Every structure is written in C-alpha cells, then in structure tokens.
C-alpha cells in the first residue's frame, strides 16, 4: 500500500510539473512584446488570416491584430492566403499581400520600405504633403510621391512595377527610368524594360477593399485586380 501511494504521489508531481511548464511555454510564445518608446508610424487597419511583426531590436516574431500600431523599422510578413493593410500617419496606405515581407522606416525627408519578396500595393492619392516614398526591392528602387503602384519581387531575381495612377521612377544600377500611368516596368539584372498596359482597368484598384455590414458584423471584400 505504501509503495502504491508513493507511485501515485510521483505521478501527480510529474503531471503537475508538466502542466506548469506547458503553461509557462504557452504564455511565453503568446505574450506581446513591450514596444517601449518606439516611434509609432502607422496602424494595421485590416488583417486577413496570419500576419506577423518583428521589432527592430527583437528576433522573435509575434502575430499582429487589426488596429495595432506599426512602429518605425518594424518587419511585417504575411503567410499563404493572408494579407495586411497598413496606413502610415501621413496618409499613405499599402497592402502587404500573401507570402510577403517588408520593413518600413521613417526618415526625415522620406519613407523607405525594404521589400524582400511577394507583392505590395501602395496608394498615396490622399496624401496632402507627401514625403518621397522609396520602395527597395532586390537591386531596384522605386521612388514616388502622389501615385498608386503595385510592386512584386521574386526573391530579388526579378522586380515588376505597375503604375495605376501618377508616375514613379525606377532605378537599377546606373539605369533610371520614369514609369507613367498605365505602364509596367520589369527589372531583370541591370536592365529596365518599360511597356504600356494593353488593358487599362479603371475600377476597382488592385487590392482595394469594400466594407459593408451584414448580419450585425462588418464584411470585407478584397478585389484582386491586376
């Protein structure tokens, strides 16, 4: 009987230890990191499925939710079938499409986005006094002021730019070309090819969203125009 009681006690202690450490592990991987005094540069206005953020001073990725702040030098990534919409404090809005990774940095006279892979759509039509927006993708840099553009990158091997409104300048190495409204540009190596779109979509804009209310909740539709 004494041996049986000792076995029950040992099993109970083991189960308690496993439960405690499991809870500690769960709280550790789900807790939000304290952003401290980092500068807020924007807000995540919409998120679908899985989007994660990594602070510049951290190595751990954490999941982000809608209406959470975006801090200077944040890295944001999206998973398969996911997207996130970020509104910068100057009015710039950009959509991070699925399987994409970008870093946003506010400088004194410009907004810089380092874009590693996937695709993003940037809209600046509602910016009253815009800084220059520079999107760095692979060996290409796209610069624009009040324009709407879509940029896609295949892990730095090829970069494509589509201008829906306004214009942008795309640079690769010593080559710099202006891309106007309804034009596409492709960067492969050090070359930049610019062509006009044969089909000009007026509406909806790429990755635009329509929000309506149904059944007591907001329903959001995404238009994947290309």
Instruction: List, for residues 120-143, the tens digit of each pLDDT value.
Output: 999 988 787 778 899 998 888 999
Residue range 36-51, pLDDT digits in tens: 567 888 899 999 899 9
Instruction: Report d(CA 142, CA 168) in Å as an integer.
Output: 7
State residue 129's pLDDT score.
Answer: 75
3-state secondary structure of 40: strand
- Tell me how far apart the alpha carbons of residues 190 and 187 are, in angstroms, rounded to a whole number: 7
What is the mean predicted confidence (pLDDT) over 60-66?
89
pLDDT higher than threshold 80 for residue 225: no
What CA–CA distance (Å, rounded) separates 5 from 218? Answer: 58
pLDDT at 155: 66
Q: What is the mean pLDDT of residues 205-220?
A: 52
For 10, list phi and psi in degrees, rounded to 5: -65, -45
Beta strand pairing status for 132-137 and 110-123? parallel
The pLDDT, as a whole number, for residue 224 is 45
Q: Which of 91-100, 149-158, 199-208 has the highest average model confidence (pLDDT)?
A: 91-100
- Confidence band (pLDDT; 50, 70, 90) for 107? confident
- 84 three-state secondary structure: strand
| Cα–Cα distance measured from residue 120 to residue 207, given in angstroms and rounded to the nearest whole number | 9
Three-state secondary-structure class, residue 81 = coil
Contact 110, 104 (CB under 8 A): no
* Per-residue confidence (pLDDT) for residue 45, from 0 to 100: 92
């Amino acid at each position: 009987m004494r041996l049986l009681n000792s076995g029950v006690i040992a099993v109970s202690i083991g189960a308690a230890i496993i439960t405690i450490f499991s809870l500690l592990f769960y709280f550790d991987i789900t807790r939000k990191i304290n952003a401290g005094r980092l500068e807020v540069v924007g807000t995540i206005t919409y998120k679908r499925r899985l989007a994660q953020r990594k602070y510049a001073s951290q190595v751990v990725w954490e999941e982000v939710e809608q209406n959470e702040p975006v801090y200077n030098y944040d890295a944001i990534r999206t998973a398969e079938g996911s997207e996130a919409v970020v509104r910068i404090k100057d009015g710039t809005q950009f959509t991070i499409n699925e399987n994409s990774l970008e870093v946003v940095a506010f400088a004194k006279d410009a907004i810089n986005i380092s874009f590693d892979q996937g695709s993003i759509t940037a809209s600046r039509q509602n910016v009253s006094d815009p800084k220059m927006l520079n999107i760095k993708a692979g060996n290409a840099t796209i610069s624009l002021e009040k324009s709407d553009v879509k940029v896609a990158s295949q892990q730095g091997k090829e970069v494509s730019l589509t201008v829906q409104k306004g214009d942008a300048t795309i640079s690769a190495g010593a080559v710099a070309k202006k891309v106007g409204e309804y034009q596409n540009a492709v960067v492969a190596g050090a070359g930049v090819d610019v062509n006009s779109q044969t089909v000009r979509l007026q509406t909806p804009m790429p990755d635009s969203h329509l929000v309506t209310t149904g059944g007591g909740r907001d329903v959001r539709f995404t238009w994947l125009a290309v």
